[in-house]
Amino acid sequence: MDDRDRLGRSLSLCCEVYRMKKRIRLKGRIKTYIQFSIYLGILMIAIDAAMFLIDLRAGMLLAGFCILYFAITLSHYFYNKPIIMNELVSFATEYGQIQRKLLREMDLPYALLDDSGKVIWTNIAFESVVHQPKGYRKSITSLFPAITRDRLPDDTGVDEAQYELEYEGNEFIAKFRKISLKEMAEHSDMIDATDYDGYLIALYLYDETALHIALQEIDDQSLSVGMIYLDNYEEALESVEEVRRSLLIALIDRKVNKYISALDGISKKLEKDKYLVILRKKAIAKLQETRFDLLEEVKTVNIGNEMAVTISIGVGLDGLTYAQNYEFARNAIDLALGRGGDQAVIKTPESITYYGGKSQQVEKNTRVKARVKAHALREIITSKDMVLVMGHRMPDADSFGAVVGIYRIAQTLGRKAHIVLNEITPAIQPMAALFQNNPEYEDDMIIGSQQAIEAANSNAVLVVVDVNKPTLTECPDLLRFCKSVVVLDHHRQGTETIENATLSYVEPYASSACEMVSEILQYTYDNIKIHPEEADCMYSGIMIDTNNFMTKTGVRTFEAAAFLRRNGADVTRVRKLFREDALEYKAKADAVSQAEIYKQSFAISICSAEDLPSPTVIGAQAANELLNIRGIKASFVLTDYQGKIYVSARSIDEVNVQIIMERMGGGGHMNVAACQMEGVGIIEAIGALKQTIDSMLENHEI
């Protein structure tokens, strides 16, 4: 049977070669060369015809010669053509064998695919890479699942493609190139291309593993710049005996230096409470894995000090120069401090990452900073002709109370002032009513965004209160029209901030923007007079943001409230401003009663927006109420309102809801935060919230 099979294959091969020879049609120069003698004979016949006209005998003689010439020429043509064709095929076969051998032994992995992606030929290097024997004929997708048929070159005009692949721990660049059979035939001087159609796909594999390892090593060894600040240096020293203060400082220095040295880095103390740190990028990756446990280690330093020392860390990475990394580190440490300290911030050209931030910000007892900012604000306002004041969209009592306070400062300093407010929401309607149709206030006290943009000029200053994200302001476009911008806010700063502000006063320890404005009022002008309506609004802002002085309330909060009381604020009037109607009270009660207790620690509920003028406010109040349930560490109330999902998050002291809301695209404080979600339903939003909580619990972030 073996001999018969070999004989059958030989006969089949011979037949195939014979058929191939029959199909091949010559063209070009070789065709002209072989048929030249026939063309010459035709020319002789034409000459012979002319000879008959001149001389009959000469014509007859030449005709006989032509017959003899044609007989010899045609016999040689039909006899030699098969021999020439055979030699051409033999040469092509031998030449193809040399090419085939070169391709088979080429070091670059190479393969040919048909138009469906099936492997039809491979060289030795390719077989070695994929660990498949010669003759592998399966689809390329079986080797590289990422390479599907729709990613290969095709008839739509895509002739080349390139992809990054990972195979058995090695990284490759796969290049695909379309090879048209018709174009190959057209480049031949011997073969007619009319009988050829279709295409093949050539695959080249370039091993990039060593290059990637080298690049990764270079990247790991690149230097990063870090800055470490002690958040509460002065306060911690005051809480310990004077003779032991030097020991406390020495222990903190030793803790920081030892930690950085263990990472093969350098730390240099610049000031009494500031360090400059140089580390490899690889060391930063280790810090990220441990989630910057230096933040917690420093807190363990205790020699009798009543207050634990906390630090803030800012790191700059992936800058084009060391100077740019240093600038990134400065921006990162400013963000860490602006967010309340006790956290680490990593800034790169593409992103900002936060770690820590679990501690409550300690209130500063000194008012020096408030006095300095107040004097700076006074200088800015007196140098301008007009003051524009705005808060955030959908303003609350704190935002409206703060803009009223800045309005009073501008009026006292003799400057024209306008409050930018597009819509008086139900949440501030009782407060706004105090100024409407009031003869003591001008009719254009409150203007819309378009009027504010028209009024903005080089002699106008814009004061932004209770918000530091430009996209959340009442009129983001107004920031571009005013050259002088002042920011007063008590929310922790995030990635998005108002840039190039002339004056920025962001203090996360403050309970409310109204508290900050109340302090500034006392230093802006001696014996400043505040109208009772204005005092009521500012007192309302403090009361709402502190949940009736129960949340994030410090000594300075009560001092600000006392200042407002001395200037005419009345608790009874304020209480009447915020009485609820029956529908609002019922909606809040329903949200509390239907709450789901998730993971035995998180209360999640939904606040209905039906028939409520300001459902987001009711949702926030319901979140506060849910904290009164024993065992609840954080509460979340979701409200579907005007095509968005509003999430109000509250906690007491065990969970930082700010970082949870930041993960979902929002922000706020450690105990009071929120976010907005678009393009999702209420059920999807609850699922996303639960998934975020699960992920952060698993990674010990909360």
Rounded (10°) angle between helices 56-105 and 36-54:
170
Burial of 185 (0-12, 13-18, 19+ CB in 10 A): middle
Q: Where residue 219 falls among pLDDT bands split at 50, 70, 90?
A: confident
Q: What is the mean predicted confidence (pLDDT) over 258-275?
A: 91
* DSSP β-ladder status, 460-465 and 386-390: parallel
- Contact between 206 and 107 under an 8 Å Cβ cutoff? The reply is no
pLDDT the model gives residue 10: 44
pLDDT the model gives residue 403: 94
Each as own residue / partner, the long-range contacts of residues 31-40 (CB below 8 Å, 24 or more positions apart, any chain) are 34/77, 34/81, 34/84, 35/77, 37/73, 37/76, 37/77, 38/73, 38/74, 38/77
- Which of helix, strand or coil describes residue 652? coil
- Contact between 587 and 608 under an 8 Å Cβ cutoff? The reply is yes
- In the predicted model, is pLDDT for residue 187 greater than 60? no
pLDDT the model gives residue 277: 94
- In the predicted model, is pLDDT for residue 157 greater than 80? no
Q: What DSSP character marks residue 612? A: -
Quick one: which of 483, 478, 546 has its CA closest to 513? Answer: 546
Encoded amino acid at 652, one letter = I
Q: Cα–Cα distance between 699 and 702 in angstroms, integer?
A: 8
Q: Where residue 9 falls among pLDDT bands split at 50, 70, 90?
A: very low
Window from 32-41, 139-148, 618-627, 687-696 with minimum mean pLDDT: 32-41
Q: Cα–Cα distance between 515 and 507 in angstroms, integer?
A: 11
Q: What is the mean predicted confidence (pLDDT) over 563-592?
A: 87
Q: How far is CA 641 from the centre of its chain?
A: 27
- Which of helix, strand or coil describes residue 607? strand
Task: Write the pLDDT tens digit of every residue in 413-434.
Answer: 999 999 999 988 888 888 998 9
407, two tokens: 């309005």
pLDDT the model gives residue 299: 87
Each as own residue / partner, the long-range contacts of residues 180-185 (CB below 8 Å, 24 or more positions apart, any chain) are none
- For 270, 530, 573, the CA distances from 73, given in Å and listed in that order, are 103, 123, 125
Q: Where residue 13 falls among pLDDT bands split at 50, 70, 90?
A: very low
Window from 112-116, 251-255, 562-566 with minimum mean pLDDT: 112-116
Q: Cα–Cα distance between 233 and 273 in angstroms, integer?
A: 6
Q: What DSSP character marks residue 360? A: P
Stated length of the chain: 702
Burial of 237 (0-12, 13-18, 19+ CB in 10 A): buried
- Contact between 58 and 51 under an 8 Å Cβ cutoff? The reply is yes
H helices of 201-319, in order, are 209-221, 233-238, 245-262, 281-289, 294-299
- In the predicted model, is pLDDT for residue 362 greater than 70? no
- Contact between 179 and 202 under an 8 Å Cβ cutoff? The reply is yes
Q: Cα–Cα distance between 655 and 626 in angstroms, integer?
A: 14
pLDDT the model gives residue 12: 46
Encoded amino acid at 695, one letter = S
In 125-194, which ranges are E strands? 160-167, 170-180
Encoded amino acid at 688, one letter = A
pLDDT the model gives residue 194: 53
Say what percent of the chain tops pLDDT 90: 27
Rounded (10°) angle between helices 582-593 and 615-626:
50
**Cα dihedral: 579, 582, 587, 593 (round 10):** 100
How far from each other are the two terminal CA atoms of the chain, in whole angstroms? 77
- Which of helix, strand or coil describes residue 373? helix
pLDDT the model gives residue 136: 82
pLDDT the model gives residue 508: 80
Quick one: which of 401, 457, 454 has its CA closest to 432? Answer: 401
- Which of helix, strand or coil describes residue 610? coil
Burial of 365 (0-12, 13-18, 19+ CB in 10 A): exposed
pLDDT the model gives residue 690: 94
Burial of 503 (0-12, 13-18, 19+ CB in 10 A): middle
Q: Where residue 289 falls among pLDDT bands split at 50, 70, 90?
A: confident
Q: Please provide residue 414's backbone torsions phi and psi, each rounded to the nearest 5 degrees.
A: 75, 30
* DSSP β-ladder status, 119-122 and 110-113: antiparallel
Q: Where residue 17 falls among pLDDT bands split at 50, 70, 90?
A: very low
Q: Cα–Cα distance between 3 and 10 in angstroms, integer?
A: 10
Per-residue b/e over 238-268, b at no fewer than 16 CB within 10 Å?
A: ebbeeeebeebbebbeebbbebbeebebebe
pLDDT the model gives residue 506: 86
Burial of 85 (0-12, 13-18, 19+ CB in 10 A): middle
Beta-carbon contacts of 638 under 8 Å, excluding residues fewer than 6 positions away, are: 604, 605, 606, 607, 619, 645, 646, 647, 682, 685, 686, 689
Quick one: which of 77, 78, 81, 74 has its CA closest to 21? Answer: 81
Q: What is the mean predicted confidence (pLDDT) over 518-530?
A: 85
Q: Where residue 612 falls among pLDDT bands split at 50, 70, 90?
A: confident
More confidently predicted of 439 and 63: 439
- In the predicted model, is pLDDT for residue 53 greater than 70? yes
598, two tokens: 């998730």
Quick one: which of 344, 379, 378, 376 has its CA closest to 358? Answer: 344
Encoded amino acid at 677, one letter = M
Q: What DSSP character marks residue 213? A: H
Domains and CATH numbers, the chain: 18-105 (no CATH), 110-214 (3.30.450.20), 223-356 (3.30.70.270), 368-577 (3.90.1640.10), 584-698 (3.10.310.30)
- In the predicted model, is pLDDT for residue 580 greater than 80? no
H helices of 364-484, in order, are 368-382, 397-412, 429-432, 449-455, 478-481
What sign for the dihedral angle of Cα 68, 73, 78, 79? positive
pLDDT the model gives residue 190: 47
Q: What is the mean predicted confidence (pLDDT) over 242-266?
A: 90
Quick one: which of 460, 450, 461, 465 has its CA closest to 404? Answer: 465
- In the predicted model, is pLDDT for residue 390 greater than 90? yes
- Contact between 311 and 342 under an 8 Å Cβ cutoff? The reply is yes
Q: How far is CA 525 from the centre of its chain?
A: 45
pLDDT the model gives residue 149: 82
Kindly report the average pLDDT of the chain as a whole number.
83
Q: Cα–Cα distance between 161 and 178 in angstroms, integer?
A: 9
- For 256, 263, 383, the CA distances from 277, given in Å and listed in that order, are 10, 11, 41
432, two tokens: 């706004």
Degrees to nearest 5, angle at CA 656 with 654 and 659: 160
